[in-house]
Amino acid sequence: MIEVIPVPALSDNYIWMLRDPDSGTVAVVDPGQDVPALDAANQRGWRISQILTTHWHPDHTGGNSAIKAATGAIITAPAEAERLSPVDRIVAEGDRVSVGGLEAMVWEIPSHTAGHIAFYFEEAKIIFVGDTLFAMGCGRLFEGTPEQMFANMQRFAALPDDVRIYCGHEYTLANARFAAHVEPDNAAIAERLAAVAAMRTRGEVTLPTTIGEERATNPFMRAPDVAELARLRTMKDSFS
């Protein structure tokens, strides 16, 4: 089984560290800082050999250069990441990325940023989605459109229920409160809000989530059309 470790960084980011147990190959996804990632690897006796980047924002690329300098790791990223990070391999829709014996397909999922990508490890049933999909939410539309985000949500929703989703931030509690506000009669949302609130009180990580959970409790994935997603996103931008 693939190992995936959450490494907290900055105020609410997660750097995801994955290891292929057969080869021992280790990759980090979206390291916004170098020290937390390097420390987490060193504590486990792991050596980072790859960096997978989903989009260009500094809280997802800030550690790339220092990790590469310390380990020689190869950076795989969308072209937009070159704004802030060295990139060894630029990837786009349909490209494949290997981490030891594990293979991911690259998805282009623009909307949060214009060149945002995801890494979908189909056999392992895991997907790294950066800031496009969150547990019970979706990313802000900084460089894209509601149409793009709606298409992304439909694409995610078509995956099997048991695919695990690794997001870039610990936003679940705030998203759950918004979901309960817009779907007050959804019992699954109410139950999940209570569970997430208890987890955060205990200081626990609420990720990964799954496609099945998101279909049941994520208002953005449940939106029936572009107009409803756009309405929800505008509401969420000012919700407190």
Tens digits of per-residue pLDDT, 67-110?
Answer: 999 999 999 999 999 999 999 999 999 999 999 999 999 999 99
Q: Which are the catalytic amino acids?
A: 55, 57, 59-60, 112, 131, 169
Predicted confidence at residue 26, as pLDDT, reads 98
Distance (Å, rounded) from C-alpha 69 to C-alpha 103? 25
- Kindly list the distances between the CA atom of residue 132 and the CA atoms of 71, 111, 141, in Å, as whole numbers in the listed order: 29, 7, 9
Q: Which residues pair with 130 in a beta bridge?
A: 167
Predicted confidence at residue 240, as pLDDT, reads 80
Tokens standing for residue 60: 């997802």
Predicted confidence at residue 112, as pLDDT, reads 98
Is 200:175 a contact under the CB 8 Å cutoff? no
Q: Domains (ranges, CATH) in the chain?
A: 3-237 (3.60.15.10)
What tens digit of pLDDT does each residue of 23-72 get? 999 999 999 999 999 999 999 999 999 999 999 999 999 999 999 999 99
Q: Which residues pair with 105 in a beta bridge?
A: 96, 120
